[in-house]
Structure 1
Amino acid sequence: MSDITQDFFREIGISKGMTVLDVGCGRGVTTEMLAEIVGSEGKVVGLDSNPRALNAALMQAKAKNLHHIEYLASDLMDVKLGDRKFDAIVGRRVLKYVSNPRQAIEQLANHLKPNGIMGFQEHDSTSVIDKENMPLHHEVNSWFWKLVESNGGNPTIGKEIWSIFNHDSISVRNIKPEAIVQTPENEVSLIPLLQNLSGLLVAKGIVTENELNAELIEKLESEKKQSNSIFIRELIFFVDAQKHGASRLA
């Protein structure tokens, strides 16, 4: 997943020497990715409202001697950046958790330099599942999106993507959907995601510990191999937008 995100950032024009704002940065995974792209000549500011995540990100950046990274605590709906301007503003899996994403993007656009770009990656619950041959995959996938909803997320943000990024000051250059396809033979699987999120699924009351057992993992693997079907659990929307007044890319 990191590879396609990094490729996207490069495709929209993020390069060495740029100043970039990473909103909803969490523990700094994308922030460090951006720091690698812009190099020591550039600057990356990671912004998040979770102090624990920011502290972990800051400690990691210091350990790696990434001195061109800065972290700030702020809510996306009330960003305090003064008169700071950036060459690019990006985010990954963040807008679906914002109460008014259109307003948030409009406010963020005020911190873009002339010709500045925005690049956001958002995940949507649009899926392709053969319910008859893959009923267990369908059920488990629904757990993940219930988890998103339980955290205040919008699982169907995809249908709003275009309107979120079209304002008086910015507009969409390109929207690219992408899907991760599971086949009976490839290594793509729900299982690692299920294992990573099992604690949260139980804590939110979406499933019980008894349901999350070794037998479930075995059944998922067996269903995958025997289904003779592809499975797509979500669509990923990559949004490339630019501040008005710049020459638009074809």
Structure 2
Amino acid sequence: MKTDNAVTEKQARWAGLAPGMSVIDIGCGPGKTTSMLGELVQPGGRAVGVDLSEQRLAFARQHYGSSTVSFQQCDLYQPLTGLGQFDFAWCRFVLEYHLSNCFELVRNIAAALKPGGILCLIDLDHNCLSHFGHSPRMERAVAATIKSLEENDNFDPYVGRKLYSFLYDLGFQDIDVKVEAHHQIFGELKEVDEFNWTRKVEVAAKRSGYDFNEYQGGYDEFLDEFRAFFANPRRFTYTPIISCRGRKP
């Protein structure tokens, strides 16, 4: 539900993906994006999705595997050169989970590119933090939850603003950056936004380790308030998405 092929196509074409290229999809998950990237490099191209989760890869192989789209289990901190060299590397919504060693991960991905290959990094900034219409205690709880995820789970809510510097420091050329709205939620709540944000609260917030001491009823009371806030058409929520592309020297 969260993955929109039209958005993927727009972002990938902006970054320079073209027919005939070989593309590696970093942190491919269940494979929907890899499949879309595989379509965009036809005729003559190939797409390889890599992920650590064998469960997600099994789903990806079953639903999206083909003669031009394949999937491999990989530790992204280990060399990826065994998969060959690629014309294009796609890394979207991955780096936010690697706060302490993000640059090392990007450097490892860059090593899988051919000289002249394109690296496209896409991630969120001020992730989950930009709302209006909520109570002061909910604002404090959301900020404290994200801080707890930073300290305990290696989560980086501000990684989007760092992407340019990663490519710059690696000596990439022809770097370009685009800033847009990823979430822009107002008025009646759409099903996909309800699903996405309910899961964020049910999974990330609950497992963050934060005690929600602003609420007498703890996490459950916070969840009830968040759901009521989010269902209210007066609420406004947005999240910037930052896309950065560059060419390997």
Do they fold alike, i.e. is TM over 0.5? yes
Distance 2:26 2:156 in 1: 17
**Equivalent runs, 1:28-39 vs 2, <5 Å:** 28-39=31-42
1:70 is aligned with what amino acid?
S
SS at match of 2:120: strand
After superposition, give the CA deviation of every residue in 1:188-220 in whole Å (9 maximum; x if it has no partner). Answer: 98533233335414344557345434x753443
Q: How does 1:169-180 map to 2 (within 5 A)?
A: 169-171=171-173, 173-179=175-181, 180=183
CA–CA separation in structure 2 for the residues paired with 1:49 and 1:148: 21
In the other structure, the counterpart of 1:5 is 8
2:51 pairs with 1:48: yes
Q: Distance in 2 between matches of 1:59 and 1:49?
A: 17
Corresponding residue SS for 1:162:
helix
Deviation at 1:41, TM superposition (A): 2.4
**DSSP-derived class of the 2:242 partner:** strand
Hey, what does 2:237 align to over in structure 1?
A: 231
Query: Does 2:21 align with 1:18?
Result: yes
Superposed displacement of residue 90, structure 1 = 0.7
User: Measured at CA, do residues 147 and 91 of structure 1 come closer, stay the same or move farther in structure 2, by a change above 3 Å?
Assistant: farther
Tell which deviates more after alignment, 142-151 or 176-185.
142-151
User: For the Cα contact (< 8 Å) 1:46–1:70, is it kept in 2?
Assistant: yes
Q: TM-score, normalised by structure 1?
A: 0.78
Contiguous gaps of at least 5 residues in structure 1? 245-250
Greater shift, 160-169 or 145-154, is seen at 145-154
Conserved in 2, the CA contact under 8 Å of 1:166 and 1:172? no
Aligned equivalent of 2:158: 156
CA shift for structure 1 position 89: 0.4
Letter in 2 for 1:54: L
Residue identity matched to 1:202 = K
Q: Secondary structure at the match of 1:25?
A: coil
Is contact 1:96–1:122 with CA below 8 Å preserved after alignment? yes
1:240 counterpart letter in structure 2: R
Q: Offset at 1:168?
A: 4.8
Q: Contact 2:110–2:248 (CA<8 Å) still a contact in 1? A: yes
* Per-residue CA distance 1:53-108 (angstroms, 9 max, x = gap): 2222112224xxx2211211212111232372111001111112234222222232
Instruction: Give the structure 2 partner of residue 115 of structure 1.
Output: 116
Structure 2 unaligned runs (5+)?
213-218
Q: Is the 8 A contact 2:17 2:41 kept in 1?
A: yes
Contact 2:32-2:64 within 8 A present in 1 as well: no
- Which residue of the partner structure matches residue 221 of structure 1? 231
Q: Number of matched residues? A: 233
SS at match of 1:102: helix
Residue 202 of structure 1 is matched in structure 2 by 206
CA distance in 2, matches of 1:11, 1:161: 16
Partner of residue 181 from structure 1, selected from 166, 184, 188: 184
Shift of 1:9: 0.1
Instruction: Provide the TM-score with structure 2 as the length reference.
Output: 0.78
Q: CA deviation at 1:181?
A: 2.1
1:91-170 matches, cutoff 5 A: 91-98=91-98, 99-125=100-126, 128-130=130-132, 133-135=133-135, 138=139, 142=143, 145=146, 149=150, 150-170=152-172
Deviations 1:100-154 (A, max 9, x none): 2222222322322232111121112265443xx3338746864874685353211
Is the 1:16–1:37 Cα contact (8 Å) retained in structure 2?
Answer: yes
Structure 2: how far apart are the matches of 1:106 and 1:235? 24
* Cα distance change of structure 1 residues 142 and 37 upon mapping to structure 2, 3 Å threshold: farther
